[in-house]
Each structure stands twice: as structure tokens, then as C-alpha cells.
Structure 1
Amino acid sequence: MKARDKRQGVVLVHTGEGKGKSSSAFGVAFRAAGWGMSVCVIQFIKGKWKTGEERASKAFAHMEWHALGDGFTWDTKNPEQDIKTSREIWEFCKEKVRSHEFDLIVLDEINYCSGYGWISGQEIAEFIRDEKPAWMHLILTGRNAAAEVIEVADTVTEMKMIKHAYESGISATQGIEF
């Protein structure tokens, strides 16, 4: 693994309507942890959900997992609370970046918060441009990535849904969706 002073960190954005944005980010996180990198995953929406990826993260000594948020916000009954929670999680994310403790940080579902206007794309992009250490890798996931975030990213992947099991009446499946 390259030393931090010899590494160029990259910013990846996984967005789009299709499945696999978070799963792809977690794959990269586990790959980095497998190489001994320090990894932090911060989930904006998942809340108290029990997931296989969080359970698997415990196998790595240098991986922190923070499942935060109040649940799936598109069914919200309290948008003010969702805004407050998202802003608090965003402040937590900035603290983790500023700590310089991690080689890779995943901001899972942050693009949703930006899409809802709770954290502006401009604010996220400016923070990345101005404060992310040059050696740090950062992954942002979720639908509706802001244009400003796409602009500051090094790699942007848009997941496109062609077909989904849910359309056939198959609900979220343990080991596949969570």
C-alpha cells in the first residue's frame, strides 16, 4: 500500500436509480480494509437496520461503521427532524475527514440528503475541494447526486435500473439488500 504522502486520493460518486450504489461502495471499503487501510463508513439513512455488511465490518480491525439517521426519509412524517438529523450526520462526517484518521471514508446515501435540499451540493463540493486531504479516498452514494458533487468527483458511476425483483413482488432479501 502506498504511503499517504505518495498517494493521490480519489473521490467516487455512485448515483442513479438502479440498485448497487451502496453495495459497490462497501465492496471498495472491504477491499481497502483488506489492504490494511483505515476505513470509516457513515450511513445517513439506514438508522437501526441490522445489515450483513455492518456485521462483516467487525472482522476488520481498522474499520468503523456508523449506521445513523432516522430511517427511510421518503416516508417521513417529520421533515424538520430529518433535516436536523442529516445536518448532524454531515457535521460528524466533516469531523471524521478532518481527523485524518481514515484512508477511505464512505458517505452512504448522502446524495439523498442533497437531493432533498437538506445539505447543498455546493456545500459538499466545497468541503471536498477545500478540506479533504489529498491522500484520502472518499465515496458518496445515493440517488440524485448534485451537479457540484459530480463536478468535484474523480469517478462517477450512474446505476441504471433495468429490472428489479421488487416489481415482481419479491421484498428486500437478507444477504442481497441488507
Structure 2
Amino acid sequence: MKVREKRHGLVLVHTGEGKGKSSSAFGMVFRAAGWGMKVCVIQFIKGQWQTGEQKAATRFDEIEWHALGDGFTWDTKNPEQDIKTSREIWEFAKQKIQSEQFDLVVLDEINYCCGYGWISGQEIADFVRQHKPGWLHLVLTGRNAAPEVIEVADTVTEMTRIKHAYQAGIKAEQGVEF
């Protein structure tokens, strides 16, 4: 494994309307763990919804996983609580990033929090510029990535939906979407 002092820590953003943003990030999680790198996943929206990736991560000592949040925000009954929870998760995420315990940190669905105006893109970009260790890889996922977040990133990928099974009435399938 490349020593931290020689590593260029990348900031990657996965955004867009298409599927695969989190899945791509989780592929990097398992790739990094395979190299013995310490990884932290922080999910901003998932709440208690169990996923196959989270279950698989328990098999790796290198992966620390935090499924936080209050669930899917488009069903929210209490936007003030969602804002409060997102802010608390952001503070937790900043602590994990600055702890220097991890080689890769994934902030899953944080871009949604920007899209809803709960955390500003400028705040995230400023934190990344000022406080992210130079060797740390950081991945931010979710639709509607803020322009400031895109600007601070080294690599930005936009997933484009061409066709999705949900449009044909097929619900999310275990092993494929969760």
C-alpha cells in the first residue's frame, strides 16, 4: 500500500439523476479495504434501512460504517428535525475526517443535504480545502452536487438515467439496489 505521505488524496463526487452513485463509492470502499486501508462510510439519509453493502462491510476490520439520518427525506414529516440531524451528521463526519484514522471516507448522500439547503456547498468546500488531510481520499455522493463541491473535487462523475426498472413499476430489488 502506498504510504500516506506519498499519496495524493483525491476528492471524488458522484452525482446525477442516474443510479450507481453510492454503489460506485462502495466499490471503492471494498477496493481500499482489500489493500488494508482504513475506511469510514457515513450515510446521511439511509437511517435504519439495512443494505447488502453494510452487511458485507461487517466482514472487514478495515471498514467502519455509520448508517445515520432519519430516512428518506422526500417523505419527511419534520423538516426541522431533518436539518438538525443532517447538521449533527456533518459535525460527526468532520471529526472522522480530521481524526487521521482513515485513508478513505465516504459521505454517502451528502449532496442531497446541499440540494435541500441543509448544509451549504460552500461550507463543505471550505472544510475540504482547509481541513482534509492531503493523503485522505474523500467521496461525496448524491444528486444535485453543489457547484462549490464540484469545484473542490478532483474527479466528478455524473450518472445519467437512460432507463430505470422503477419506471416500469418494478420496486427496488434486494442484491441489486440495496
- TM-score (norm. length: structure 2): 0.99
Measure how far apart 1:121 and its partner are: 0.1
Q: Gaps (5+ residues) in structure 2? A: none
DSSP-derived class of the 1:90 partner: helix
Percentage of pairs with the same residue: 78
- Do structure 1's residue 9 and structure 2's residue 9 form an aligned pair? yes
Which amino acid in structure 1 is aligned with residue 28 of structure 2?
V
Q: How far apart are 1:174 and its partner, in Å? A: 0.4
Is 1:129 aligned to residue 99 of structure 2?
Answer: no
CA drift of 1:50 comes to 1.0
Describe the SS at the equivalent of 2:42.
Answer: strand
Aligned counterpart, 1:163: 163
Distance 1:52 1:120 in 2: 30
Q: Which residue of 1 aligns with 2:82?
A: 82
Q: Deviations over 1:140-167 (max 9, x none)?
A: 0000000000000000000000000001
Runs (5+) with no aligned partner, structure 1? none
State the AA in 2 paired with 1:122: Q
Shift >3 Å, 4+ stretches: none
Q: Secondary structure at the match of 2:12?
A: strand
Measure the CA separation in 2 of the matches of 1:50 and 1:135.
31
What does residue range 94-105 of structure 1 map to in structure 2 within 5 Å?
94-105=94-105
Give the total of aligned pairs: 178
- TM-score w.r.t. structure 1 length? 0.99
Q: Please list, as runs of the form range in 1=range in 2, the aligned pairs for 1:1-178 lying within 5 A after superposition.
A: 1-178=1-178
Tell me how far apart the structure 2 counterparts of residues 86 and 58 of structure 1 sit (CA, whole Å).
24
1:161 counterpart SS class: coil
RMSD: 0.4
